[in-house]
Amino acid sequence: MKKVLVLCTGNSCRSQIAEGYLKYFAGDKAIIYSAGIETHGVNPKAIDIMKWDGIDISAHTSNNINEYTGIDFDYVITVCDNAKESCPYFPSNAVMLHHNFPDPAKAIGTEEEILKRFMEVRDMIKDYSLSFVNMYL
């Protein structure tokens, strides 16, 4: 079974959303992990917008990349430039993939505008996740 790691800065939004969709689309084809180079806790807005799309990430935890140093990943997907630049070396044959998604946690404006940005980023990650599963798994 393939092992996939999604890596972001704080493992609070983008990587959590990607983990949720990758698990959903991959089913039993892969084991999906997510981590951050830091841990910021799972963003409540990320939990809400995923729930609205039928995926429950409320039990997810914010994990540090160092927790996974012993796992031989097949794929490591960085979902922000900061994580790509700070990504530690993995002593494996992992295929490294990168897509820089905007950080919805940095959205400003009214609550409605912020939630709209979260949903836009969620939909971008959903499309990417489905494409990844179709292409690599």
pLDDT digits (tens, 9 = 90+) for 2-31: 999 999 989 999 999 999 999 999 999 999
In the prediction, which pLDDT does 87 show?
61
Is 80 in the active site?
yes
The confidence band for 91, taking pLDDT boundaries of 50, 70 and 90, is low
The answer as to whether 113 is a domain residue is yes
Catalytic residue among 55, 80, 105, 133: 80
The answer as to whether 51 is a domain residue is yes
- What region, left, alpha or beta, does residue 79 occupy, with left being phi > 0 and alpha being psi -120 to 50 degrees? alpha
pTM for this entry: 0.94
Catalytic residue among 31, 87, 97, 107: 87
In the prediction, which pLDDT does 14 show?
96
Taking residues 27-47, what's their average pLDDT? 95
Is 8 in the active site?
yes
The confidence band for 93, taking pLDDT boundaries of 50, 70 and 90, is confident
Portion of the chain with pLDDT greater than 70, in percent: 93
Is 13 in the active site?
no
The answer as to whether 29 is a domain residue is yes
Q: Domain range holding 112?
A: 2-132
The answer as to whether 137 is a domain residue is no
3-state secondary structure of 65: helix
The answer as to whether 124 is a domain residue is yes
Catalytic residue among 5, 8, 32, 50: 8
> What is the Cα–Cα distance from 108 to 35, expressed in whole angstroms?
25
pLDDT of 37 strictly over 70:
yes
The answer as to whether 86 is a domain residue is yes
